[in-house]
Structure 1
């Protein structure tokens, strides 16, 4: 017996039979994401167009039933877990590229199209969309927008907020919204596009996005720099970011990550390596080598053990193989690790890493760090066993102090993974009560009954 039989009957009238699931066994797979959280929705609706999205949202609004929008469920914070039951609205079937306009450097897509499909379609016209999360082959553009997920290229090209011109969306009471422009400039009205991006489906359900495309660079150079310790690497990051040539990727791994790779791969790294940077620069063919030389000089600070520039595609693959070996190694050691993505000012990265090493020793938890050094976005991995209650109790206390350290360093709790369910209890440490109150009021204007993704993002919302 369903809790809302009248709603289920209305959904059956609004959607074809193959676009609605109500049996618990069928609904369970849509009750979790890439976190360890899970909850059973009452129904799962599959929309294929904006009109169906609007119909489902309106019905949930009328009946006061929670609605959680989702793409492919690659998020790690529980943001798409229907913790209050209700309806899951899957957008994975809204996967069409609606328009490609090379002359105006834009693409119009539905939210269920994958990041990789966008990149492939754009590349056919000589362009790319800068956001490139690790899960690009599987994650959806709608999910990228919901979390403002960026990936390595954000250091030069920005996040989805900087690379999205406009949206079409449905508010929590079923209104069709159009935000933004089709031009690269426009100041008419409030910037609702940037507000909805990163809101994790709590303000509106995105049905269409106009993406700003960037021309593919003619050439690219890849460097790997190894340092004695994280302090030396951080000085190199500061030196690299202080000169005019901005790298298109600036990734780092700490000593723990490097040692992990040594044990689980055949990567050739100097002994005594305490930190590693993976650097890429791009640009015109006739000046990319000069740009690489400039970055190489900046990277050669005291404490640099080696700085290598790849000169062939094989060498590029060999250098990136070191970075790509990390995730499999971590999965072998701790398949259910805790993965946070904090952000600190670049100059504070050494202090953060030192603090994390101290917390690791105090709580007896192995912590491995890597991430996007160019903008201070660090992925902090606590290698724990969630089936060990003693270890998880220590992990909870450790994580609490990790967040305190990040905020003390004038950082932020999340750079691109979002808040979702797992970080909401910590948000009021970063955001003051007056600002949180204003956010609650904004939420009320978009979603008067609070049906959109309740229990996510902020305390008591």
Structure 2
């Protein structure tokens, strides 16, 4: 039974029809959670077909102070799409059109419900691609990528979502449409609302259209797999690799515990204190020279071994260990807290050492891997959720991790977002004047606080 005001229920039903307005228990349950494994029931689910309907939904909810929570495919891990305050979940599943592809302008115009994978497939005949490639790329939507500023392994060279968006159309908390940016790469006109809204997790506006920056698809790729004595030697190599004119297309790190896990699961990797996976891309003429320069930069104090993979099959074998890592974690324990923290590259060894210390202190396995080129590492705290004592130790280890990241001059999230999972740490990550400025922006775009309430900003 919905708790929505009867007048609002009737208005949304008339606006959206039976297929676009759902208050049945099955629909509410299906739209109440995300990959954070947290869940709360919305009072209703709206499935608009166009931007006018999105604006009308917000205008209808505003007088009743009913929360409006935007939703993509539900692949987020920070509970950013979970409707803890009830209200209306706006699913963009029916707004899934690619409106235009303009190869001459190297841009595409899309609705938020377009799956990342579907966009990449549509761009292939044009020899183009969109850079964001999160691990959920086969399932996530462009709107979800925009909401949390998703990244992925390619971000080291091509940037995260925010770096690959040219313009937006969005609905504010007052139900007004705003337009910012456009199909151009240079703009010094007014405030940059595009990059403000990207990464705001639906708390400032609901994105209903995006103009995306596209890139030429590389014609060739090659990779390196490099093993080091310890994390410090690997971090020093990362600094050398990132100083090359040819920026790696991917630069992934695995710590000692990740390598040990792979060995236990039969992967063909030697014992080592750390591993880097490096990929270069380009054309067939330049690629061998670029790979040679990266191989030379990878060598140095603490190097144990280096493998080169030029052809497709060899690259697949090289990256098989990285792809096998996340599934292998489930063999340690069914519970996983996966935090995507960021530290300066020079502090990667300190973060790894802190994770090892927290693992020993709380008697829990902690595995570290991720995007070394920009210091965005995934710290995986493994535990058994049914064990109350282990669950408490996992939460204590998480608190210790965040404290260490801030002490190392890092930040709480590189690509997963804040949601509610890290919200209360925002007061530790930012000083009072900075948080006040963020709240002022929120109040300007969402004066009644109905857009995804309780997310990102900590309560006063």
Q: Is the counterpart of residue 318 in structure 1 residue 317 in structure 2?
A: yes
Q: 1:287-342: per-residue Cα shift (whole Å, max 9, x none)?
A: 11000000001101122111111122111111111111101101232333111000
1:241 matched residue in structure 2: 242
1:206 matched residue in structure 2: 207
1:151 matched residue in structure 2: 152
1:268 matched residue in structure 2: 268
Would you say the 8 A contact 1:24–1:42 is kept in 2?
Answer: no
Partner Cα distance (1:169, 1:79) in 2: 18
1:292 matched residue in structure 2: 291
1:49 matched residue in structure 2: 50
2:85 matched residue in structure 1: 84
Partner Cα distance (1:302, 1:449) in 2: 57
Counterpart of 1:369 in 2: which secondary structure?
strand
Partner Cα distance (2:331, 2:358) in 1: 23
2:226 matched residue in structure 1: 225
Would you say the 8 A contact 2:262–2:269 is kept in 1?
Answer: no
Correspondence list, 1:41-440, <5 A:
41-264=42-265, 266-270=266-270, 272-440=271-439
Q: Which ranges of structure 2 fall in alignment gaps of 5 or more residues?
A: none
- What is the CA-CA distance between 1:146 and the residue it aligns to? 0.3
Partner Cα distance (2:24, 2:220) in 1: 52
Counterpart of 1:15 in 2: which secondary structure?
helix
Partner Cα distance (2:331, 2:95) in 1: 35
- What is the CA-CA distance between 1:438 and the residue it aligns to? 1.1
Partner Cα distance (1:449, 1:246) in 2: 45
Would you say the 8 A contact 2:248–2:280 is kept in 1?
Answer: yes
Partner Cα distance (2:140, 2:330) in 1: 19
Partner Cα distance (1:342, 1:11) in 2: 40
Partner Cα distance (1:289, 1:102) in 2: 28
Q: 1:117-171: per-residue Cα shift (whole Å, max 9, x none)?
A: 1111112101111111111111000000000001011111111111100000100
Counterpart of 1:329 in 2: which secondary structure?
helix
Partner Cα distance (1:343, 1:13) in 2: 47
TM-score (norm 2): 0.98
Q: Which ranges of structure 1 fall in alignment gaps of 5 or more residues?
A: none
- What is the CA-CA distance between 1:36 and the residue it aligns to? 2.1
Counterpart of 1:103 in 2: which secondary structure?
coil
Counterpart of 2:373 in 1: which secondary structure?
helix
TM-score (norm 1): 0.98
Partner Cα distance (1:106, 1:439) in 2: 30
Q: 1:96-135: per-residue Cα shift (whole Å, max 9, x none)?
A: 1000000110000000001111111112101111111111
Counterpart of 1:232 in 2: which secondary structure?
helix
Partner Cα distance (2:247, 2:17) in 1: 51
Partner Cα distance (1:334, 1:59) in 2: 46
Would you say the 8 A contact 1:41–1:86 is kept in 2?
Answer: yes
Greater shift after overlay, 326-335 or 119-128?
326-335
Would you say the 8 A contact 2:369–2:378 is kept in 1?
Answer: yes
Would you say the 8 A contact 1:258–1:276 is kept in 2?
Answer: yes
2:458 matched residue in structure 1: 459
Would you say the 8 A contact 2:222–2:311 is kept in 1?
Answer: no
Equivalent pairs, count: 459
